[in-house]
Structure 1
């Protein structure tokens, strides 16, 4: 048996229930993992509210780290007793233990703690595909990154610095801007302090940026397009302020033959070998010291509703973990 967080309906944090569920034995291609820490991400909010609807009832949570308790037939990259971490669908990581497909579960180096593993997989692999797999980004290019003091943002600041990429961040307070600068952002704009689009233009001598990475969504979409140089790439990868409303594709031509994409992590890691290679790259960034994981919030698993409230109120910095 394992305590597991489930929802029976979409709604606010009050819909969470903590239940006891039988875990069972792994089948072919599966593992049973006992979690030491579970990650918290904005996609969990989207699933809870129904923006990304689930077939209910359903457990929530997309990333965690822990110990492999058992492996099913055909699993060769993991064995009983291994330390492991993952970001994977379907949801179900808010739990003491679970049985799941082994394909996206990755061996976790001894030098990376379980809390770091739980805090880094979804956010770190997202950073990987943003910088390595979405559009060519080279040393000397300039990227605009919204919510630069969040879990993905602080990893992205460090990733950019390690590869000679200029990252201009945005955040909602001077304190969050200072945090982004500390982690490698070249500049950070408090978007409450004035016209941030104008400030981006000023910082780039009027040219605009090569790439925008935007997980905020509705509130920043128009400004993000206006921050790009001609032929620039807009990567819209989240909806923290709500989904981007419909727009005319002709606008992209009017604003300088811009490009736009809406990727998801789970497309990039759907192939087992690709996922394992991406994880190895990410672990290398962490073990080399290029990226450090900042975990600023910890909640017991039973306090998951409060964790969601704090996240939605944008009162978090860095990463948040739940402890079973």
Structure 2
């Protein structure tokens, strides 16, 4: 069957952040600051991991990939939103909207998979420390990242191709600040049963399996840590997992809030706020979480930002 835009529409309008000019100026400044902090913080993480040989380990390799993913998610959404606010034009082309849906699904899914891979890495490091370096070799690390990207891309393409089959109504106003899959489907005139079923089915599997893997890993990790007799050893083991647990809680907690709010309420304002907490805020906070809670990362950051001062006698 040929897949095409059956509705013939050329654009949508993102009206989720349409306010008075004074408020829009504040929103523009806020999101510009968030975007700058997100890009700067995550680039620092990537550079620190790349340049400091102490950080050439599987854990930091995955952290650097997570930072790259956070940059991609934010870049997929925020620049277009800032352009719309600056030009007072909320339009986004049909192709641009579907591309945004696809890339958000790719990088959001990749982040979910990477968090599960990082939990597996911590599980091996704490529960099987003697076999850790043998199992978690560089080839496996790269393979796990590529596999995560492949799975998330297949998921995104599946939703995007099904979205292409829909025809859309004349009401093209999407009450959101980006083209979110569920919000776009709401504007379809054709039957969306298959799309909705696919969303619930794939989301349950795609989010449930990584989350179940993370929970299982940490059950084993906590059980192993409690067997350590030394208090200092237990604290050190817990500290290596603290940053990852914080990121997992932030990512899945806000994502769960998005879907719960959309299920129990039709309030577009609440959906926008929860979506911001899910798709914007975690990507900004992740660098702070990893740099502030990790001694090795803090040291690498200091050497990266103040090389002359630290190298002087």
TM range (shorter): under 0.3
Between structure 1 and structure 2, the one with the greater Rg is 2
- The structure with more helix, counted as a fraction of residues: 2
TM-score, length of structure 1 as denominator length: 0.23
Between structures 1 and 2, the one with greater strand share: 1
